[in-house]
Amino acid sequence: MSKAPTSTNRTGRKIGQKVKKAKLKPSSRRWIERHINDPYVQRAKLEGYRARAAFKLLEINDKHQILKDARRIIDLGAAPGSWSQIAAKVTDSTEDDIRVAAIDFLEIEAIPGVKILHLDFLDPSAPDLLIESVGGTPDLVLSDMAAPTTGHQKTDHIRTMHLCEVAADFAVQVLAEGGHFLAKTFQGGTEKTLLDMLKQNFKQVIHIKPASSRSESVEMFLLAKHFKGRKPAEPAAQDDH
């Protein structure tokens, strides 16, 4: 009679020990099935985009023409990189003349013509580094940032809204006059103070739900068009002495 093996392989399993198939939670199985059957996932593969998110930007652009005159673009929360792929193409960005800067705390595989910052956008050094990297005044700031999910819907919501607000503040500090700001938000989630601030600074502010954004998702996009520009700094008060 042969003896059961006792030595172990590189994975720590005993040689000959059967590998149990990991049991998927029904919600995970549903996600995988939906992903495999998703026409946008299949289209992204065919057209060479890294994510189905590409079609959200393209769809918004079809209607609102935000990419048409963009010469420099900043992409916040860019991994895996499909929006940056589009940004590099529309700006004719090259390694010799970089016109797109992207940031994410997740790694992004190199994209020709895109300066990638592997950093948290909330890090105090991020705004200056982005401006330095894009090589001039951007005329489009994109943010598809979503906070990592905790499982607690309200917390996730608040964190993503915070990212949207910080991105909007950044946009009004860096955009060229006439530029646009597009950011991920949630249905019913945009705070009045944020909307008011955007309405003061842009000629048009709208919410959009692209068809390629899953209908069961509460994701929406906030588009602020035609930045009015920054007021010149007030001259410092004269000292009478």
Ligand X SMILES: C[S@@+](CC[C@H](N)C(=O)[O-])C[C@H]1O[C@@H](n2cnc3c(N)ncnc32)[C@H](O)[C@@H]1O
Catalytic residues, which ones?
184
Give the number of C-alpha atoms closer than 13 A to the C-alpha of residue 80, restricted to the C-beta side.
8
Q: Interacting stretch for ligand X, rule CB under 6 A, among 31-39, 76-84, 174-182, 232-240?
A: 76-84
Rounded to whole angstroms, how far apart are CA atoms 154 and 7?
Answer: 49
CB of 237 to ligand X, least distance (A): 38
Closer by beta carbon to ligand X, 114 or else 198: 114
Q: Are strands 100-104 and 180-186 parallel, antiparallel or unpaired?
A: unpaired
User: Considering beta carbons, is residue 20 or 110 the nearer one to ligand X?
Assistant: 110
In the list 67, 74, 145, 182, the residue contacting ligand X (rule: CB under 6 A) is 145
- Which of 40, 55, 121, 221 lies at the binding interface for ligand X (CB under 6 A)? 121
Does 77 show up as a binding residue in the annotation? no
CB of 156 to ligand X, least distance (A): 11
Q: Is 144 annotated as a binding residue?
A: yes
SS3 content of the chain, % helix, strand, coil (to 5): 35, 20, 50
In the region spanning residues 16 to 75, those forming contacts with ligand X, defined by CB under 6 A, are 50-51, 53-54
* CA distance linking residue 136 with residue 197, whole number of Å: 24
- Antiparallel, parallel or unpaired: β 219-227 and 202-208: antiparallel
Q: Which of 66, 81, 87, 114 binds ligand X (CB under 6 A)?
A: 81
User: How far apart, in whole angstroms, are the C-alpha atoms of residue 21 and residue 7?
Assistant: 22
Does position 223 interact with ligand X (CB under 6 A)? The reply is: no
Where do the DSSP E strands lie in the chain? 73-76, 100-104, 114-118, 140-143, 180-186, 202-208, 219-227
Chain residues that interact with ligand X, rule: CB under 6 A: 50-51, 53-54, 77-83, 103-106, 120-122, 144-147, 163
